[in-house]
Structure 1
Amino acid sequence: MTNKDPCDVFINHRGPDVKHKLASNIYDALEATGLRPFLDAERLESDVVIQSAIQEAMTSASLHIAILSHNYAQSSWCLDELLFMLKTGTKIIPIFYHVEPSDARWVIQGKGIYADAFSEHEKKGRFSPEKIEEWKRALHDISFLSGHVVNDNMAEGRLLKSICNEALQTRDRFPKKIAKFLRRTGEYMSDLLDDIDEEYEDSEQDVEESARERSHEISSSMVDRVGDSLSKCLKRIEVSVNVCLDRVATKCVEKVEGSVTKCVDGVEGFVNVYLDKFDKIWR
């Protein structure tokens, strides 16, 4: 077996507490039964990226075993693995190794044997408050799962036999669940494709109409925005031109007015001369 092989059972544990005790015994018992367990010290090769290999093992496993020992919560690796296992939805068997389920249950309220470990995590500041709360919630949730309590009064052989039997049943059920899921998914997709075929023409027409409407909305919006911009621009030009015209017109009017006045005076004098002549004639 190599680290790239899928595993049947993933063993989550804190190494210094149980690796060479209960965890190793569970590993050996599962392997002797013909199952493929994963225990990092046994399965990982030196050239493997540890975190990646562990996640692959957790994802491929049909059963997870979490050994909660007294110092379990001191390990961020253990807590991250536990959180990941819960998110996969795969069955988990908790083993409370010289601790009680209530010890994990109390952590959500900052009490119990794991409270000090979480206080240390908070003091060190390596992990966000949100992450620490997720860890606490994971421990709280796993305390309600059906598992085993290991103490000095329990025969380890009976425990190992129970775990192996449950692991075998879970492994045998796992492919059947996958097959059933794939079959139901295939039936659903077949029905869905039939519905799509029947409604294809209407759907295509609806899509085209929707696209035209959306295109019209976008075009109208663009025209309105361009029109507003042009109106503002023209208004500014008009104001600027009017100001210029006012300045130029004032000077022009003064000159024209003087010329007109002279012209009118000349015409008026010329007309008066002829009026005087007509007046004499008619008299």
Structure 2
Amino acid sequence: MLMKIRVCLKMLCRKCDVFINHRGLDVKHKLASNIYFALDAIGLRPFLDVEVLEPGVAIPSTIQEAMTSASLHISILSHNYAQSSRCLDELSFMLRTGTKTIPIFYHVEPSDAQWVIQGKGIYADAFSEHEKKGRFGSEKIEEWKRALHDISFLSGHVVNDDIAEGRLLKSICNEALQTRDGFPVKIARFLIRTDEHMSRLLADTDEESENSEQDVEESASECSDDILSSMVDRVRGSVSACLNRVEVSVNACLDRVEGSVAKCVDRAEGSVNVYLDKVEQSGDEPIDELIERGMKRAFIWFTED
């Protein structure tokens, strides 16, 4: 049990679920930002530098750690994408990790990335500039070209003026949910608020701490007790409501039975009195026969209801 809790906590402490690779000047405050907030809204942890990076952190190591921990990579290939050496480095690294990568061709075509190997297409000028500046060796530039060429053959999305962005965001969210942790994820219809419980679980879980195992077990126990108590209260309330409804129904039935019995008794008593009056007034018919006939008649009326 403790091992399972540790695995869950490690998953919760990952830097991100989805890493968004993009050219900032083209899409940072457009498509990249919309993808970030769409994924964040469904409970995932996307990584977009402008939204996640805090002042004072080492940018290269933080970005590499995010790419390594992510279960899905999204690469937005825009018109000026190849001008950024950082974008190309990230793309090469993402493909080397073997993690699923979804390309989004933002107002470009997959063929634009395929032609880069032959030094053609819209990215040819950007690579010519890299070569002229001489900041990177030929091996690095060939590595970037190969990464662009390879990603062009991956299944992805082509975005242009005819594509509804809302449909694209929905598709990306579904892909991200199905990819996270390696199995499809379904969102429950009714959710139990777990913010407080998770904060307790994450508070003191340093593996180097001597009391970490005890802290996790106690926190998990408190979490289970709270949920169990909530369930018991709901069951108790449901049972009480059912008992009240049964009591009301039984009382109504008893009232109806009591009314029917009283009505039958009154009718029988009236019938007997009528025949007794006839007995007193008649001298021809034997009294025993009149009484017997009256009782039979009263019994018939009584059993009719």
Same fold (TM over 0.5): yes
- Counterpart of 1:6 in structure 2 is 15
Any conservation in 2 of the 1:64–1:92 contact (CA below 8 Å)? Answer: yes
Instruction: Give the distance between the partners of 2:14 and 2:156, measured in 1 at CA.
Output: 27
Q: Which runs of 5 or more residues in structure 2 are unaligned?
A: 1-12, 186-305
- Counterpart of 2:24 in structure 1 is 15
> Aligned-residue CA RMSD in angstroms?
1.5
Q: Which has the larger radius of gyration?
A: 1
Over residues 29-72 of structure 1, what are the superposed CA-to-partner deviations in whole Å (9 max), with x where a residue is unaligned? 00001100000000001110000000000000000000000000
1:89 is aligned to 2:98: yes
| Aligned equivalent of 1:75, options 84, 101, 118 | 84
| Aligned equivalent of 1:60, options 53, 69, 72 | 69
- Counterpart of 1:141 in structure 2 is 150
Over residues 73-114 of structure 1, what are the superposed CA-to-partner deviations in whole Å (9 max), with x where a residue is unaligned? 000000000000000000000000000000000000000000
How far off is 1:173 after superposition?
Answer: 1.5
Secondary structure of 1:26 counterpart: helix
Secondary structure of 1:20 counterpart: coil
1:24 is aligned to 2:33: yes
Instruction: Give the distance between the partners of 1:159 and 1:26, measured in 2 at CA.
Output: 9
Any conservation in 2 of the 1:100–1:149 contact (CA below 8 Å)? Answer: yes
- Counterpart of 1:119 in structure 2 is 128
- Counterpart of 2:173 in structure 1 is 164
Instruction: Give the distance between the partners of 2:15 and 2:36, measured in 1 at CA.
Output: 15
**What is the percentage of aligned positions where both structures have the same residue?**
85
Instruction: Give the distance between the partners of 1:129 and 1:69, measured in 2 at CA.
Output: 23
Q: How many residues align?
A: 173
Instruction: Give the distance between the partners of 1:149 and 1:83, measured in 2 at CA.
Output: 21
Residue 123 of structure 1 aligns with an amino acid whose one-letter code is K
Residue 161 of structure 2 aligns with an amino acid whose one-letter code is D
Instruction: Give the distance between the partners of 1:122 and 1:159, measured in 2 at CA.
Output: 35
Any conservation in 1 of the 2:20–2:75 contact (CA below 8 Å)? Answer: yes
1:108 is aligned to 2:117: yes
Instruction: Give the distance between the partners of 1:33 and 1:98, measured in 2 at CA.
Output: 27
Instruction: Give the distance between the partners of 2:181 and 2:16, measured in 1 at CA.
Output: 13
Over residues 148-190 of structure 1, what are the superposed CA-to-partner deviations in whole Å (9 max), with x where a residue is unaligned? 00000000000000000000000042699xxxxxxxxxxxxxx
- Counterpart of 1:42 in structure 2 is 51
Instruction: Give the distance between the partners of 2:95 and 2:89, measured in 1 at CA.
Output: 10
Instruction: Give the distance between the partners of 1:116 and 1:5, measured in 2 at CA.
Output: 38
Instruction: Give the distance between the partners of 2:137 and 2:184, measured in 1 at CA.
Output: 38
Instruction: Give the distance between the partners of 2:93 and 2:14, measured in 1 at CA.
Output: 20
Any conservation in 1 of the 2:177–2:184 contact (CA below 8 Å)? Answer: no
Larger helix percent: 1
Q: Which runs of 5 or more residues in structure 1 are unaligned?
A: 177-283
Instruction: Give the distance between the partners of 2:183 and 2:50, measured in 1 at CA.
Output: 26
Instruction: Give the distance between the partners of 1:15 and 1:36, measured in 2 at CA.
Output: 19
Any conservation in 2 of the 1:62–1:174 contact (CA below 8 Å)? Answer: no
Instruction: Give the distance between the partners of 1:63 and 1:23, measured in 2 at CA.
Output: 15
| Aligned equivalent of 1:99, options 87, 92, 108 | 108
Instruction: Give the distance between the partners of 1:119 and 1:112, measured in 2 at CA.
Output: 12
Over residues 185-214 of structure 1, what are the superposed CA-to-partner deviations in whole Å (9 max), with x where a residue is unaligned? xxxxxxxxxxxxxxxxxxxxxxxxxxxxxx
